[in-house]
Amino acid sequence: MNPIGLVTRVRPEPGLKPDETVLEIENLKTHFFTAGGVVRAVDGVSYAVCSGETLGVVGESGCGKSVTALSVLRLVASPPGRIVGGAIRFAGRNLLDLTEREMEAIRGNDISMIFQEPMTSLNPLMTVGRQISEAIALHQGLSRHEAFVQAVEMLRRVHIPEAERRVHAYPHQLSGGMRQRVMIAMALSCGPRVLIADEPTTALDVTIQAQILDLMRELQDRLGTAIILITHDLGVVAENADRVVVMYAGRKVEEASAKALFESPGHPYTLGLLGSIPNLEVAAQTNTRRVRLSEIKGMVPSLADLPKGCTFAPRCGFATDECNAQYPPLVQHRPGHWVSCWHADRLLGGSS
Amino acid sequence: MSAQSSGQARGSGPAALLEVQDLKKHFPLYKGVFSRVSGQVYAVDGVSFHIDRGETLGLVGESGCGKSTVGRTLLKLLEPTEGRIIVRGEDITDADAAGMLPYRRQMQMIYQDPYASLNPRMSAGEIVGEPLIIHRAANPKERRERVLHLFERVGLRPELADSYPHEFSGGQRQRIGIARALALSPELIVSDEPVSALDVSIQAQIINLLMDLQDEFKLSYLFVAHDLAVVEHISDRVAVMYLGRIVETTGKTSLFETPLHPYTEALLSAVPIPKYGARERKRVILTGDVPSPINPPPGCHFHTRCPYAMARCRREAPTLREMLPGHWVSCHLHERGAIYPLAKPPGE
C-alpha cells in the first residue's frame, strides 16, 4: 500500500530529456476579467515535464508563473479568473475537460502542490497528523487508523524528529521549516506523479532552505516524481532544476537545459536577470567595492496594458524597431533551447 | 572582553564614527494577572563593533538572530539593556529624547517593507520633507527645493512628489524611503533588509543606488540583511550573528575564502549559487532549527547544531578573538593561536 520507498531511479544526465512526459501544458491562456480591463496573466504558455525531472520556472512577481501552476490544478478563482484557451494534458486526458469531481480525484493524489507560506496553507484547527491522514484516507481508501499510521511514517520520511509526538501537534506549535516539511509530507503522501512546488523555500532561512531542497531531491530520487519548481531565486534553480522555463509578463520567453541557460542565455531578460543578482563568489573576490550590478532598467509593464510588440522591449538594451512592432515567435535555436527574441542569435552567437 | 573586541579590524582609531560596546537588549516576558516577569528574550546578548566614516558594515544572520534589534537599539529606537553606544566619541547611551535630537540628524534608517513604512495619507513629497520639518532644518521654500532635488537624486521623477504611496511600485517606494533617510544629510544610515521585499531586477537598481549615494555623500552604512550574497556585495566588512551574538567578523574576502566559524561555513555553503555546476560542491547542511532566544543553549549558542561541537562548547561560551589580522571569531576550535582547518568553503 505504501507508495514510497520502492522505486530507485538513476538520475538522468542533466539536460537530456527522459522519455516519459507526464504533464504537458499547451498554449495555456488564463485571463482575469477585472473592472480595470482584461489582465492576461498567462498568455499562451506551453511547457512539459517528465517523470523524475525537475523543471524550474522562473520570473519576477506578476509574470504568471504561479497562475500557470494554479491553472494546472484548476484552482484559479473564478470569477474573476478564467482559463480561456489551451490544454493541460495529464495521463492522456485534458484536465480542462474534466468535471470538478474528476478533478478532485487528481488533486493531491496524482498532482499535488506545495505553497510558499506553510502557515496559511495548513489548517490551524487540525493537528498535522489529521491533515495528512485526511488526504491519505480520501484518496487511497484506507481506514482512519491505517491512514494515521501512514501519516506518522510520512513525517518520519521528511525527517521530522519524534514523528510519533509531532503528529499530534498543531501547525502553530511547529517552526517554519517543520511546517514546510509537513506540507511536503502531505503533498507526497499519495505518491503523486507530479509535484508543483510554488516558492517552497522563499519564506525560510537559507540553512533551512538547504534542508528542504535536499529533502525534495531525496524523495524525488526515490519516487521518480516530476517536480515543477516555481521560484524567483536563480540560485535555487541552478542547483536543483534540470530544465528551466523563464517567464516574463505572462509568456514564456526562454526554455533551455539548466546548463545552457546559465552558460549561454538566449534572451536579454534572462541575461539581465543573471547580471542583476549579486554573486557570492564574485562579490567576495573583487576587492574593489565599486562593482555595479548590471540592472534591468524600468519595471515590469502592467498586464492590463502591455506594450505593442515585444513586452520586454521598453526595458531591453537590444531593442530595435522590429521589437516594438511585433512580438517575436518562440524559436528553437539549439536542440532544446527555445528563445522568443528577435535578437537571440546575437546573444547566442558568440558561444556554442 | 567587551573593550577589546570593539576594536576589531582595520585598525580603528578614535576616528570611528560609531562604536558599540557589549550591547545587550533583553525583552522581558510577562505572565499572569500581575504581569510578573517570567523570563527574558535575549535578543541581543553582548555585541560589539565599530563603523568608520564612509564604510559599510554588513550584519548578516538568520531570522531571530537579533540583527534588526541591533539596528534599532543603536538608533535608540529601543532602549539598550546594557552596553554603550558611542557616536564620534560621545556616549549617547543615556541620552533622553531631547538629547538624542542632534544625533538623530546624523543617523537615519531605511526599512524593509516599503509598504508599511510610508504613511499612506501623506504625499511622497511630504514624506521626504517631514524630517526637515521635525528638525526645523528648512523653510517651506527650501524644503520644496530640497525634496525635488532628493527625488531626482534617488531616481524618481520630481513631478511625482504630489502622488501618494499607493501610486508607486515597490522599488519606487523604497526610493522614497531612501530619499527620506537622506533628507537631513546624515552620516550613518542603518538599512534593515532594504532590498529583500523587492524583485531581483529592482533589487539590483536599489543596491546600485545605495552604493552611488555612499560615494557621493561619504555615507556610512550598517547594512542588515539575511542574504549573504547581497551583504557581501555591498559591504567592506561583514559581521555574522547567531542567536544574539556576533560569531565572526572580518573583511568580505576572508569571510568567503576562509570562514573560521562553523556557522559561517554552513551559511556560505547553504546559499544557492546561480551558476550551473554549483550543485556539485560540497555542502554542510545543518540539522535542526535555530533554538529559541528565550532559553538560549548554555555555552556556545551554536553547539546544538554544530557538526564540530565538543564537550567544552556546552559549558563555556567562547569570546571573539582575533585569529588572523582583522579576522575575529568566537569559537573554541581555534585555540592558542592555532587555526583549526574547517572543510573547504564552497566553490573551491
Tens of pLDDT along A241-282?
Answer: 999 999 999 999 999 999 999 999 999 999 999 988 887 766
C-alpha cell read off for B221:
552604512
Chain B positions in Cβ-Cβ contact with residue A178 (cut-off 8 Å): 289
Size of interface A-B (CB pairs under 8 A): 150
The predicted pLDDT at position B130 comes to: 94
Interaxial angle between packed helices B200-217 and A268-276, expressed in degrees from 0 to 180 and rounded to the nearest 10:
50
CB under 8 Å to A102, separation ≥6 — which residues?
none
Long-range CB pairs of A27-30, under 8 A, 24+ apart, other chains included: A27/A85, A27/A86, A27/A87, A28/A68, A28/A71, A28/A83, A28/A85, A28/A86, A28/A87, A28/A88, A29/A83, A29/A84, A29/A85, A29/A86, A30/A64, A30/A67, A30/A68, A30/A71, A30/A76, A30/A81, A30/A82, A30/A83, A30/A84
Q: Is the pLDDT of residue B345 over 60?
A: no
Cell of B242: 547567531
pLDDT score for A54: 95
Helices and strands counted in chain B (H then E): 11, 12
A8 pLDDT exceeds 80? no
Q: How far is CA B159 from the centre of its chain?
A: 33
Phi then psi for B21, rounded to 5 degrees? -120, 115
d(CA A238, CA A236): 6
Closest by CA position to B194, among listed B215, B221, B216: B221
Arithmetic mean of pLDDT, A67-86: 90
Question: What is the number of other CB atoms lying within 10 angstroms of the CB of residue B97?
Answer: 8
Mutation site, B234, B236, B276, interface A, largest A CB count within 10 A: B276
Going by C-alpha positions, the residue among A146, A163, A216 that lies closest to residue A187 is A216
DSSP state of B279: G
Contact call for residues A24 and A17 (beta carbons, < 8 A): no
Please give the pLDDT value at position A254: 96
Q: Are A267 and A333 in contact (CB under 8 A)?
A: no
Q: Which CATH architecture has domain B3-106+186-329?
A: 3-Layer(aba) Sandwich (3.40)
Distance of alpha carbon A261 from alpha carbon A267, whole angstroms? 9
Q: What is the DSSP string of A188-227?
A: HTT--SEEEEESTTTTS-HHHHHHHHHHHHHHHHHH--EE
Residues of B in contact with A61 (CB under 8 A): 199
pLDDT at residue B171, rounded to an integer: 87
Cβ-proximal residues to B121 (8 Å cutoff; 6+ apart), any chain? B164
Taking CA–CA distances from A273, the nearest residue in chain B reads: B201
pLDDT digits (tens, 9 = 90+) for B48-102: 999 999 999 999 998 888 999 999 999 999 999 999 999 998 999 998 888 898 8
pLDDT of B347 higher than 50: no
Question: If you measure CA to CA, which chain B residue comes closest to A292?
Answer: B208
Mean pLDDT along residues B253-268: 88
Contact yes or no for B57/B222 (Cβ under 8 A): yes
CA-based torsion, A210, A212, A215, A216: positive or negative = negative
Whether residues A278 and B257 touch (CB distance < 8 A) is answered with no
Say if the ipTM goes beyond 0.95.
Answer: no
- What long-range pairs does A159-163 form, CB within 8 A, spacing at least 24? A159/A211, A159/A215, A160/A185, A161/B288
Q: How far is B297 from chain A (nearest CA, A)?
A: 17
Chain A residues near residue B268 by CB distance under 8 angstroms: 280
How far, CA to CA in Å, does B327 sit from each of A22, A286, A289, B11, B240?
A: 52, 18, 19, 12, 12
* Contacts for B323 with CB less than 8 Å, ≥ 6 apart: B260, B329, B334, B337, B339
Euclidean distance between CA atoms A258 and A265, whole angstroms: 10
* Chain A residues lying within 8 Å of B275, measured CB to CB: 238, 262, 279, 281
Nearest CA in chain A to B286: A207
pLDDT recorded at residue A19: 58
Determine whether the interchain pair A207/B208 forms a contact, defined as Cβ–Cβ distance below 8 Å. Answer: no
Question: Chain A residue closest to B257 (CA)?
Answer: A284
At A13-63, the pLDDT tens digits run 444 445 589 999 999 999 999 888 888 999 999 999 999 999 999 998 888
- Confidence grade of residue B284 (pLDDT, cut at 50, 70, 90): confident
> Would you state the pLDDT for residue B14?
53
Interface residue of B198, B226, B233 to substitute, partner A, most A CBs within 10 Å: B233
DSSP string for B162-194: GS-GGGS-HHHHHHHHHHHHHTT--SEEEEEST
Radius of gyration from C-alpha coordinates of chain A: 21
d(CA A8, CA B149): 64
Count Cβ atoms below 10 Å from residue A70 Cβ, excluding itself. 19
Q: What is the pLDDT of residue B198?
A: 84
Tens of pLDDT, residue by residue over A131-164, are 999 888 888 888 889 999 999 988 988 888 888 8
From A43, A78, A69, A85, select the one nearest A303 (Cα to Cα).
A43
Q: Span A177-195, mean pLDDT?
A: 88
What is the 3-state secondary structure of A72-109?
Answer: HCCCCCCCCEEEEEEEEEECCEEHHHCCHHHHHHHECC
Cα separation, A180 vs A155, in Å, equals 11
Amino acid at A85: G
Cα gap A231→A210, rounded to integer Å? 14
- Average of per-residue pLDDT values in chain A: 86
What's the pLDDT at A160? 84
**Residue B252 clears pLDDT 80, i.e. is over it:** no
What residues of chain B lie within 8 A of the CB of A261, using their CB?
A: 276
Percent residues over pLDDT 70 in chain A: 91
Cβ B267 vs Cβ A272: under 8 Å:
no
Contact B232 A283 (CB under 8 A): yes
pLDDT at A1 > cutoff 50: no
Average model confidence (pLDDT) for chain B?
Answer: 87
| Chain B residue closest in CA terms to A259 | B276
Convert the pLDDT of each residue in B195-239 to its tens digit. 888 888 888 999 999 999 999 999 999 999 988 888 988 999 999
Residues B116-167: pLDDT tens digits? 899 999 999 999 999 999 998 889 999 999 999 999 999 998 889 999 999 8
For position B44, what pLDDT does the model report? 93
pLDDT-derived band at B5 (thresholds 50, 70, 90) equals very low
